[in-house]
Structure 1
Amino acid sequence: MTDERRTEAARRRTVDSPEVLKALSHPLRLRILRHLGAAGPATSTTLAAALGENTGTLSYHLRMLERSGLVEDIPERSTGRERWWRGVRGLDIRRPPQDELTEAERAMSAELDRMRMEEDVELARQFTAGQAGSDGWMRGSRSLVHLTKGELDAFHDDYLALLARYARDPEDAPGDARPVLLRWFGLPAD
């Protein structure tokens, strides 16, 4: 592991609070985070244009994301009333255990799951329809393995470590890099 990667790993922080869950359970906030992650820093004006929303709405949701620690402004790029925003680097967002959530927080968690599942189903459709013409940009794997619960936990942690190894922000990516959506989930087959 390079010194740069060790430093990045040391800066990672886990976020597992119900407040973050609440911030994430809004469709526009998810779109804002996706856009910042794919395209890099933006102002509320550039986000409004990219997402087809008005700047007041975007400003409100950016403040909610900021309060939750998911986005931050970039003071050195901001001038006057114009604020530049980026996703907070090094976050490892994990859900609080279900038994630690209130009924309302469990409902928000279920809504977040529903929104993400709709997105994942659409991504699977795009993958199926576009893989042949993707020039190798669409890759996937499906497997069946026999694991213990501990091995599944270790696999999941190794997957997160692998993601962290390759993660970089749009402004730090090489010129030929593209934003790539990755999904992993495991579930018992029986």
Structure 2
Amino acid sequence: MNKVTRLQAVSHPLRLRILFALDVQEEARTSDLAAELGVAANKVSYHLSLMEKGGIIRKRTGEDARETWWSVITENLDMKEGEGSDSLAEDSRAATLASLEYLRSLVPALEPGESEERPNQSIMVTNAYLTTEQVKELADDLAALLHRARDLSDQNREQGNGRLYAVGAQLLPARAEQG
């Protein structure tokens, strides 16, 4: 399974919503996903089958043969360096933009002055000139931060605490400057 195939498997807003829902729930039935997302079950089923063909989710038959459970194959979402082709950078940017658009849809608009409380949201973006070694170091730091967020999420879910937040990180080469 190459990167482009995996990226195509999530290159639709509904598939991203399904992926995020499965990631939080760890495993869910088609009907549960349809109810949570407010989408017809046959539509969710169609997109689940495309995601399965793309190798990013797996299905398991429940005790009742009509019951299908789905879960994310997290190791197949890890985009390892050196996989793919020259067009991969563009595909990665497209997937990143699609992910960001979906994440933005989950976050209510920030209206300055609307509340005296500081909103529980942060959006941080920067461009930076980095060496290959610095990129590797930052990637390790980001991976550790996301791992910490996942651990906290698991603890809170077990205890019935917290709210759902979208947490993500991207470290991609910028598009070459056009002359």
Fold-level match, TM-score > 0.5? yes
Asked whether the equivalents of residues 17 and 96 of structure 1 are also in contact (C-alpha less than 8 Å), the reply is no
Identity among equivalent positions (%) equals 24
Counterpart pick for 1:128 among 94, 104, 110: 110
Match for residue 4 of structure 2? 18
**1:145–1:47 Cα change, 3 Å:** closer
Does the CA contact (< 8 Å) of 1:131 and 1:138 recur in 2? no
Q: 1:43 aligns with which of 18, 23, 29?
A: 29
8 Å contact from structure 1 (residues 27, 115) kept in 2: yes
1:159 to 142, 148, 151: 142
Kept in 2: contact 1:24–1:30 (CA 8 A): yes
Query: Retained in 1: the 8 A contact 2:57–2:70?
Result: yes
Corresponding position: 1:80 with 2:65: yes
User: What is the alpha-carbon distance in structure 1 between the residues aligned to residue 65 and residue 3 of structure 2?
Assistant: 33
Alignment of 1:29 with 2:11, yes or no, is no
| Alignment correspondent of 1:67 | 53
How far off is 1:117 after superposition?
A: 3.5
How big is each residue's C-alpha offset from its partner over 1:82-124, in whole Å with a ceiling of 9 and x where there is no partner?
A: 111122245553277697155xx7775554343223235556x
Asked if the contact 1:73–1:84 (Cα under 8 Å) also holds between the matched residues in 2, the reply is yes
The alignment's TM-score, normalised by the length of structure 1, stands at 0.64
Q: SS of 1:126's equivalent?
A: coil
Give the number of the structure with larger relative contact order, counting CA–CA contacts within 8 Å between residues 6 or more apart: 1
What is the TM-score normalised by the length of structure 2?
0.67
User: Which letter does structure 2 place at the counterpart of 1:29?
Assistant: R
**How far 1:131 sits from its partner (Å)?**
8.7
Change (3 A) 1:115 1:17: closer
How big is the shift at 1:47?
A: 1.4
The aligned counterpart of 1:5 is none
The answer to whether the 8 A contact 1:16-1:95 is kept is no
Aligned residues: 169
Unmatched 5+ residue regions in structure 2? 175-179
Cα 1:67–1:170, aligned 2, differ >3 Å: closer, same or farther?
farther
